[in-house]
Amino acid sequence: MNPQKRTTLTLTGLTLAFLALTALFLSNRPGRPVRLPPIPLVGTDFLDTATVRRSYADLARAQEDLSDFECYTCHEKGKPPPLRYDLNQNLIVPKEHSDIVMGHGSHGRNNNCFNCHNETNLEQLQTRDGRALTFSDSPMLCGSCHGPTYRDWEAGAHGRISGYWDQALGPAQRKQCVNCHNPHSPHFPPRQPAPGPHPLRAVAVAAVESEPNH
Amino acid sequence: MSRRSFLRTSAVLTTGLAALAASLKPLMEMNDFPTAERFMQKYYKELTPAEMEKVLQRITDEVEKQYGIRPHVRDLKPMDGVEFVYCLNLTRCIGCRKCVHACVAENNQSRNPEIQYIRVLRLPHGSLDIEKAEHFYNTDSVPEKGYFYMPVQCQQCKNPPCVKVCPVHATWQETDGITVIDYDWCIGCRYCEAACPYWARRFNFTKPSIPQERLNPDMAYLGNRPRRQGVMEKCHFCIQRTRAGRYPACLEVCPAGARKFGNILDPNSEVSYILKNKRVFIQLKEEMGTAPRFFYYFDV
């Protein structure tokens, strides 16, 4: 093979190789942007800032239905309702109040309605030292037993708050005990967690091609 | 010129030009060219109020063009006599991750790929070994027996390693304690991400994708305005809320009331009470000497 022929062959080979590379570049296979598997948007209920429960004070402020707190539509005034217990000294919750689960305290001895409710006026609450309180003032009742927690709540270290940290710029809304705790079974209920993080993973293009990537 | 050399030269030339055109092809796909205005924009700290006004106008227009919603973009300065501190009650946190998603919604983070400032770590009881932490936990109900949860986000260090390594001063600590990022100045080198011992910084590998209906139009320059591809971002204590006096989004959404925020220089604030009276047991990775402004505490 003479040198001229060799040069021609080499150049032809190189030209073909370059053309192949050009085709590869233009098809943009290696440089194609990574397609990501779709991630569903998180449900708006996880973005909701509302409390677990609504307090009497909330309902009164919003001028909503307070009939649940009007005891004397059924009960008789001046006649405290009798409490009945089963053989294990557990309170028998009457069927009219079947929504109530008695679970205040792990010892099971806090089983007397009138530990907190006022016997002589059912539309009021009553501390153990005999102070009568309205339903709006329920934190005072909770605080009569849960002193340290009440102190923390007053200082803002326990419980929920929203609005403004700077009182000069706007109000803060402090939530009451009963906004989160059911007074009859105050343990904070378990809940479903929001979806966890989706790790960054490239998947086969075909797998996601059909679904839109918002 | 012989016929052969003409053919050879033109074949090589065509191939070369085609290869050059192919190598430049990614440029054709670039649609986010910086405008001359953005390209010539001065450093944040050197902007005069009039220039800042123009910059905010530009951002407003850009966001409106892209998302079809006219945002309210502000440049909020730190307040005098304010230093922010965050306290998180580990006894109360139930690991529901509502804070994570409230943060994403408030701060216009990318939904896909996901960028989240808060990671909720699940740790077995009786240990604070981060090596045992799990943040992909996926159960039907929280809290789980035998575990506690520790959300981790930017700790707003008093001695921030991320600020020290930034080669272009695109991130710095403000007088109210918030470490901020100028997204228009960041070059995306990710040194700060490597320097942060809390894995608090996030990088926009792609153009962030935010569904239009979830865009938060209340924006701040150093806060939650939409980012570009190739810049860092991280928790900034919801600058657009907190510098206007409001609580951060993660705090307001927490169903357990585990999150507390306030001005540590105000002796009557919640955080002052907590640091004085509660069992504040940890600044995360205290031994790193970063002096976080984020405290974890317990009831009891």
Sequence letter at residue A121: N
Chain A environment of B97 (Cβ under 8 Å): 46, 193-196
* Closest approach of A112 to chain B, Cα-based (Å): 27
On whether the CB atoms of residues B87 and B297 are closer than 8 A, the answer is yes
Contact B96 A11 (CB under 8 A): no
Q: What angle do CA B143, B147, B149 make, to 5 degrees?
A: 70
Chain B environment of A179 (Cβ under 8 Å): none
Chain A environment of B12 (Cβ under 8 Å): 11, 14-15
Answer yes or no: is pLDDT of A141 > 60.
yes
Residue in A closest to B95 by C-alpha: A193
Distance, in Å, from the CA atom of A118 to the CA atom of A130, rounded to the nearest integer, reads 9
Tell me phi and psi for residue B143, to 5 degrees: -75, 150
In this complex, which of B22, B100, B263 lies closest to A165 when CB atoms are compared? Answer: B263
> From the candidates B12, B80, B94, B112, which should be mutated to test the interface with A, based on the most A CB atoms within 10 A?
B112
> How many beta-carbon pairs below 8 A join chains A and B?
175
Helices (H), chain A: 3-27, 56-61, 138-143, 147-155, 205-209
State the average pLDDT for chain B. 92
This prediction's pTM:
0.84
Percent of chain B with pLDDT over 90: 78
Answer yes or no: is pLDDT of B243 > 90.
yes
Distance, in Å, from the CA atom of B218 to the CA atom of B60, rounded to the nearest integer, reads 11
**Pair of tokens at residue A114:** 């009138």
Percent of chain A with pLDDT over 90: 45
Contact B101 A42 (CB under 8 A): yes
Q: Give strand pairing partners of B173.
A: B179
Task: Say which residue the tokens 């009568």 belong to.
Answer: A132
Write b or e for each residue in B136-157: b if 16 or more Cβ atoms lie within 10 A of its Cβ, otherwise e: ebeeeebbbeebbbbbbbbbbb
Distance, in Å, from the CA atom of A198 to the CA atom of B97, rounded to the nearest integer, reads 13
Report the interhelical angle of B270-277 vs A147-155 (nearest 10°): 140
Q: Does B26 touch chain A (CB under 8 A)?
A: yes
Chain B environment of A48 (Cβ under 8 Å): 253
Distance, in Å, from the CA atom of A157 to the CA atom of B280, rounded to the nearest integer, reads 12
Answer yes or no: is pLDDT of B199 > 80.
yes
pLDDT in tens, A87-102: 888 889 998 899 998 8
pLDDT band at B231 (very low <50, low <70, confident <90, very high): very high
What structural domains does chain B harbor?
Answer: 99-237 (3.30.70.20)
Answer yes or no: is pLDDT of A211 > 50.
no
Q: What is the pLDDT of residue A209?
A: 45
pLDDT in tens, A148-157: 999 999 999 9
Chain B environment of A195 (Cβ under 8 Å): 97, 138
3-state secondary structure chain B: CCHHHHHHHHHHHHHHHHHHHHHCHHHHCCCCCCCHHHHCCCCHHHCCHHHHHHHHHHHHHHHHHHHCCCCEEECCCCCCCCCEEEEEECCCCCCCCHHHHHHHHHCCCCCCCCCCCCEEEEEECCCCCHHHCECCCCCCCECCCCEEEEEECCCCCCCCHHHHHCCCCCEEECCCCCEEECCCCCCCCCHHHHHCCCCCCEECCCCCCCCHHHCCCEEECCCCCCCCCCCEECCCCCHHHHCCCECCHHHHHCCCCCEEEEECCCCCCHHHHHHHHCEEEECCCHHHCCCCCEEEEECC
Using a 10 angstrom Cβ sphere, with 0-12 exposed, 13-18 middle and 19 or more buried, the burial of residue A85 is: exposed
Average pLDDT, stretch A141-149? 93
For chain A, how big is the Rg over CA atoms in Å? 34
pLDDT in tens, B80-132: 999 999 999 999 999 999 999 999 999 999 998 899 999 999 999 988 888 89
pLDDT band at B21 (very low <50, low <70, confident <90, very high): confident
On whether the CB atoms of residues B18 and A22 are closer than 8 A, the answer is yes
Contact B114 A39 (CB under 8 A): yes
Contact B101 A159 (CB under 8 A): no
Using a 10 angstrom Cβ sphere, with 0-12 exposed, 13-18 middle and 19 or more buried, the burial of residue A162 is: middle
In this complex, which of A51, A190, A197 lies closest to B114 when CB atoms are compared? Answer: A197
Contact A47 B12 (CB under 8 A): no
pLDDT band at A33 (very low <50, low <70, confident <90, very high): low
Q: What is the pLDDT of residue A202?
A: 56
Between the alpha carbon of residue A77 and those of residues A95, A123, B25, the distances in Å are: 20, 10, 87
Distance, in Å, from the CA atom of A121 to the CA atom of B221, rounded to the nearest integer, reads 58
Report the interhelical angle of A3-27 vs B3-23 (nearest 10°): 30
Answer yes or no: is pLDDT of B45 > 90.
yes
**Pair of tokens at residue A191:** 């809940």
pLDDT band at A204 (very low <50, low <70, confident <90, very high): very low
Q: What angle do CA B193, B199, B200 make, to 5 degrees?
A: 85
Average pLDDT, stretch B26-46? 80
Q: What is the pLDDT of residue A30?
A: 62
Percent of chain B with pLDDT over 70: 98
Cis peptide before B124 (omega within 30 of 0): no
